[in-house]
Chains A and B, each alone.
Chain A
Amino acid sequence: MNNISTSPIISADGINFSFGQGELRKQILFDIKFQIQPGEVVLLMGPSGSGKTTLLTLIAGLRTLQEGQLDVLGHTLSGASQADLLALRRKIGFIFQAHNLLPYLTALQNVQVMFDLHPEVSPTEGRERAIHILQQVGLGDRMHYSISKLSGGQRQRVAVARALVCNPEIVLADEPTAALDGTSGREVVNLLQALAREQQRPILMVTHDARVVDIADRIIYMQDGRLTNNPHDAEVLTSLPGGHQ
């Protein structure tokens, strides 16, 4: 038991990653090495183009690892099959910069549809859990609204509910506050933190937003494709929210 809880859920070593081929080849990540422990809330910060999002897509199994060791939730990503990557992604709760909800579904349906990935959960139970979590994010009275009728902050709260409803083993968030004003962004981050704490979920959040650093157990800074311990190297605190890469 102790053994399980102390082994890292993400462990990266010597990751290099490049886009393009030949002359046009451009290296994005250089010798990345870090670990995330169970239950940790970690922010990944750095200026635009520093490689944060690329690193996130590698961790999520959305891109093929080129070089280095990367273990996520017990899956070794080096040479992993598509089926393996798919299995990994089902254990992850995703929150995207733009909410990425399905516009043809209501708020409740957007959350409920996640149980299609978990056939072991009955439709009735799935619906109950979706309703419960929407109440937790304060949308109990708007569950049946179509996405187009919700405000930006409300949409991102639906996205938080969708990411967490199936009890993911980790939440990966990519600038979840970037499209929101200060107040809504704060609300979303608070909700995310509260729910993750309650469920003991670790969070890895890529962000530009210096206003949310207080939720973090730990901050990893990134500059020009390398991790750095010095936040000033990464000019994080001088960067403005709302940037996008």
Chain B
Amino acid sequence: MSQRIPLSWLQLRHEKMKLFAAVSGVMVSVVLMWMQLGLLQALFASAVEFHGSVNGELIVIHGQYEYLLRNQPFSNRLLHRVLGSPEVLEIYPIYSEAVEWKNPWNGERRTIQCYGIDTDKSAINLPMLASQLPKLRQTDVFLYDRKARPGFGPVLDEFAKGTLIEPEINRRKMTLVGMTDLGASFGVDGNIIMSHANFLRLLSKRKPGELDFGVIKLRPGSDVLKLQAQFQAILGKEVNVLTRDELCARELVYWKRATPIGVVFTTGTFVGFFIGFIVVYQILYTDVTTHLPHFATMKAMGFSNGYLFRMVLTQSLQLAMLGFIPGSLIAGLLYTGLRAATMLPLQLEWSRGFFLLAATILMCTISGALAIRKLRTADPADVF
């Protein structure tokens, strides 16, 4: 079986160096876009890792809650009011506060986020947490976040060796009894989890019964939104009753509005897009210019403008694919490296992949469409 001549491809690959340059340009652009969007998404995802893991459909927070690190506690008694509803299975009070960790190996002090939970109930859905709750009932013990950034000392290695690790936390000697996963974020380098009682011992200024998060676990099949409105009315204006998604969104509002993170990485993404656009445009434009006499010949022989336009657009799509695939592979390698270095949850996600593929195709198509304008100057009358 014979095929039609793949004219665009044969013309594109005719000059190997130019093809290489164009593909490299698209590749750099694709890598940049992956990195920028990946970091942006990872930073946002890490900021709500805790919020997204709470074991309940509705969460009560103080009305002036700004974000994890700037919060006002509210009274546990308020939370208990919802227990009257038959739809409520459980309530989980959670304390949260930044504490000072003194690195037991070098004496450096660093801030770590501390959560106080009820050791009878699984307030947070985290791997390995439920089975370790009984251990947490001892005095002055805590769990350590395996995904914490380095800087708190060689905690993981030493713990694995069986070394007794007893750092000073808020100037109180605490004992490490286990590991959990929560993850570092923009605001937080690492986390520790302990019982309410131990939390309150560490933070003497905190009053018992003054909560940061009140997690409400509903009976399966409950009308979450109806109950949300109902509880909000019961609890009054001092607190907000949010769904888990709303809580995450609320947390992100802070990071999006109050920090330049979004702007920085979105700009970076556009820079990547622009670099690719310029490179592909330059290459296609010079390519069309180089081949102008050939295009003129083809026009003279009866090839339509549309045929030639399609040829250049096909080339731009070919460049898009040739750059996108290796670019995505490189981004994958960089993600792996950055994940280890930053402890951020960087993932090559399909949805982002499709988005970037579409962006790459758009980028190359715009370049091609602009380069095509040059094609109009090919005058078939010049060939004689």
| Contact surface of A with B, Cβ cutoff 8 Å | 53, 56-57, 60, 62-63, 86-87, 89-90, 92, 94, 96-97, 100, 102-105, 109, 112-117, 122-124, 126-127, 174
Contact = CB atoms under 8 A, between A and B. Distances in A.
B384 A104 contact: no
Given A105-B5, A109-B5, A123-B3, A62 B381 contact: yes
A86 B3 contact: no
Contacts of B297: 96, 100, 102
B303 A116 contact: yes
Contacts of B351: none
B384 A56 contact: yes
A92 B3 CA distance: 24
A122 B3 CA distance: 9
Interface stretch (B6-14, B49-57, B214-222, B339-347): B6-14
Interface string B274-299: 00000000000000000001100110
Given A103-B14, A104-B11, A53 B301 contact: no
Nearest to B7: A113
Contacts of A113: 5, 7
Q: How large is the interface on B (under 10, 10 to 19, 20 to 34, 35 or more residues)?
A: 20 to 34
A115 B7 CA distance: 12
B301 A117 contact: yes
Classify the interface of chain B: helix, strand, loop or mixed: helix
Nearest to B307: A116
A123 B2 CA distance: 5
B293 A100 contact: yes
B377 interface: no
A243 to B, nearest CB: 14
A127 B2 contact: yes
A174 B380 CA distance: 14
B5 A112 contact: yes
Contacts of B127: none
B300 A89 contact: yes
Interface string B1-39: 111110100110110000000000000000000000000
Contacts of B225: none
Contacts of A94: 300-301
A103 B7 CA distance: 11
Contacts of A97: 384
B302 A90 contact: yes
